């Protein structure tokens, strides 16, 4: 299924009325009012997160925001609303998220004033600060006033971090169970939402009731900054079983150029740096603890190369520093278990460690004390890293000649204690939180 890189009932109104409950810095363990919808506030460290911006996170299904300027913890959406897809605006003033079957909500960055703005679809921010919500593009003005800027173009799937490129997927195939059909699958790029589209890649595809889908259906796309091209994956023959064990990642450097096969990625996003550098977790097999290795691709350098991980260790979760000079990644041992019980999965994640590579000379240093780390995210100034460990969010200073401070547990838990949802040990940690430092300090 392609992903975008990107009627209100009485019950929903009741849940909305319970949103935006505010708890003070010492509210860990307190309960929100609301009768049967009582919510236990998660543990937070207001002191540990002070002056670090705003942190939105899902704890036991409920959405919360921790304000680093005053230590307030705000309940934004209850678990009954099924909040997900959290994203702060580029200017750090707003938070967008979805609930239920695709209702899109907008709140202030501190979690207050949440309101539904679209009844069906997905919400996300463009690099210029415009908001995609449902099928519309909005400008968010003073006080959250929305001004309609246009409609979302058909086939939009991705855009570059600098906003200079947008990717679209189109297909002329009409799937019918009564007669066979054929068509062409295309990946197109444009310099803006309304700019002319140029075909960069196309492939024949077909479908019949007897043979099913055949051909390279484009699954995901990524646009590199600085007009350096695009990356994409294909879902061969629309086979979910094949895709579960990995899909090939291809690079395109010009329209119509032969795609360069970079390797195989399994359920992992591509990390794109500010200068066109990118990295991904390479290696087939749906088992999270087998064959994985972070591969780094630098502009003007061929071929892509793996990070210098410790002997016998796997590597995961690449994350670029804001200036692209450092890459954080996670190391983990090879796993041999064939079951995915909570104890097995938690024990394996506890053996993770966090590392930082200097891209200029490819030297690596371990981040001290970051035991069990996954899903690292850099601070806006490149001095700190947030990561998940033991079902909690931690904050630590990056390795430097001056040494490191001890990691601080900022918020926990993320999932229900003792019940981490996983797919062959893959846990979607990064989908549980969003961090904004636009207004930090």
14-64: pLDDT as tens digits: 233 333 444 444 343 333 433 335 678 999 999 999 999 999 999 999 999
The model's confidence at residue 71, banded by pLDDT at 50, 70 and 90, is very high
Cα dist. 13→18, 48, 232, 242, 394 in Å?
Answer: 9, 35, 41, 42, 34
What confidence tens digit (pLDDT) does each residue in 106-142 have? Answer: 999 999 999 999 998 889 999 999 999 999 999 999 8
Looking at residue 241, its pLDDT comes to: 72
Looking at residue 269, its pLDDT comes to: 85
* Domain-wise residue ranges, the chain: 19-151, 155-265, 271-410
Looking at residue 302, its pLDDT comes to: 82
Q: Rounded to an integer, what distance in angstroms lies between the CA atom of residue 25 and that of residue 409?
A: 14
Say if CB 223 and CB 193 are below 8 A apart: no
What confidence tens digit (pLDDT) does each residue in 153-194 have? Answer: 999 999 999 999 999 999 999 988 889 999 999 999 999 999
Q: Rounded to an integer, what distance in angstroms lies between the CA atom of residue 272 and that of residue 292?
A: 19
Looking at residue 137, its pLDDT comes to: 97
The β-bridge partners of 23 are: 73
C-alpha count within 13 angstroms, C-beta hemisphere, residue 331 = 19
Asked whether residue 73 carries a pLDDT value surpassing 60, the answer given is yes
Looking at residue 441, its pLDDT comes to: 59
- The H-or-E segment that residue 3 falls in is none
**End-to-end alpha carbon distance in the chain:** 41
Looking at residue 439, its pLDDT comes to: 66
Asked whether residue 96 carries a pLDDT value surpassing 50, the answer given is yes
CB atoms within 10 A of CB 275: 17
Burial class (CB in 10 A: 0-12, 13-18, 19+), 418: exposed
Question: Omega before 358 cis (within 30°)?
Answer: no
Architecture of the domain spanning 271-410: 6 Propeller (2.120)
> For the chain, what is the largest distance between any 2 Cα atoms, rounded to a whole number of angstroms?
69
What confidence tens digit (pLDDT) does each residue in 273-301 have? Answer: 999 999 999 999 999 999 999 999 998 78
- The H-or-E segment that residue 49 falls in is helix 46-49
What confidence tens digit (pLDDT) does each residue in 255-276 have? Answer: 999 999 999 999 778 999 999 9
3-state SS, residue 417:
coil
Alpha-carbon dihedral sign for residues 306, 308, 314, 315:
negative
What confidence tens digit (pLDDT) does each residue in 219-234 have? Answer: 999 999 999 999 999 9
What confidence tens digit (pLDDT) does each residue in 387-440 have? Answer: 999 999 999 998 876 666 789 999 999 999 999 999 999 999 999 999 998 767
Looking at residue 400, its pLDDT comes to: 73
CB atoms within 10 A of CB 107: 23
Structure tokens at 267: 């359920």
Structure tokens at 208: 């019949």
Residue 386's nearest CA partner among 430, 374, 324, 394 is 394
**In the 8-state DSSP scheme, what is residue 342?**
H
Looking at residue 67, its pLDDT comes to: 97
Looking at residue 28, its pLDDT comes to: 39
3-state SS, residue 216:
strand
Q: Rounded to an integer, what distance in angstroms lies between the CA atom of residue 105 and that of residue 101?
A: 12
């Amino acid at each position: 299924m392609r992903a975008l890189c990107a009627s209100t009932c009485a019950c929903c109104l009741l849940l909305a009325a319970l949103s935006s409950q505010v708890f003070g810095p010492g509210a860990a363990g307190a309960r929100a009012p609301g009768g049967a919808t009582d919510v236990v506030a998660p543990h937070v460290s207001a002191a540990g997160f002070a002056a670090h911006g705003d942190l939105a996170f899902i704890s036991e299904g409920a959405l919360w925001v921790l304000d680093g300027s005053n230590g307030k913890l705000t309940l934004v959406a209850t678990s009954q609303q099924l909040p997900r897809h959290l994203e702060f605006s580029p200017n750090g003033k707003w938070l967008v998220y979805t609930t239920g079957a695709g209702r899109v909500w907008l709140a202030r960055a501190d979690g207050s004033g949440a309101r539904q703005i679209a009844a069906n679809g997905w919400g996300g921010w463009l690099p210029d600060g415009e908001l995609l919500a449902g099928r519309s593009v909005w400008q968010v003005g003073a006080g959250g006033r929305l001004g309609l800027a246009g409609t979302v173009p058909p086939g939009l799937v991705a855009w570059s971090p600098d906003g200079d490129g947008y990717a679209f997927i189109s297909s002329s195939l009409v799937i019918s169970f009564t007669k066979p059909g054929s068509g062409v699958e295309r990946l197109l790029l444009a310099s803006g939402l309304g700019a002319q589209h140029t075909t960069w890649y196309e492939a024949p595809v077909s479908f019949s009731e007897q043979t099913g889908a055949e051909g390279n259906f484009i699954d995901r796309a990524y646009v590199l900054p600085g007009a350096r091209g695009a990356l994409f994956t294909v879902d061969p023959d629309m086979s979910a079983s094949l895709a579960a064990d990995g899909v090939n990642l291809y690079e395109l450097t010009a329209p119509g150029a032969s795609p360069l096969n970079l390797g195989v990625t399994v359920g992992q996003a591509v990390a794109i740096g500010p200068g066109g550098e990118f990295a991904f977790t390479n290696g087939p097999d749906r088992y999270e603890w087998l064959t994985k290795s972070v591969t780094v691709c630098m502009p003007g350098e061929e071929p892509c190369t793996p990070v210098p991980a410790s002997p016998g260790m796997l590597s995961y979760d690449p994350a670029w520093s804001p200036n692209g000079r450092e890459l954080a990644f996670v190391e983990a041992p090879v796993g041999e278990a064939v079951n995915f019980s909570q104890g097995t999965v938690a024990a394996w994640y506890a053996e993770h460690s966090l590392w930082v590579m200097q891209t200029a000379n490819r030297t690596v240093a371990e981040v001290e004390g970051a035991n069990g780390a996954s899903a690292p995210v850099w601070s806006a100034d490149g001095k700190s890293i947030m990561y998940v460990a033991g079902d909690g969010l931690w904050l630590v200073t990056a390795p430097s000649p001056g040494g490191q401070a001890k990691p601080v547990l900022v918020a926990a838990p993320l999932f229900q204690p003792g019940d981490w949802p996983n797919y062959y040990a893959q846990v979607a940690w990064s989908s549980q939180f969003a961090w904004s430092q636009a207004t930090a300090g």
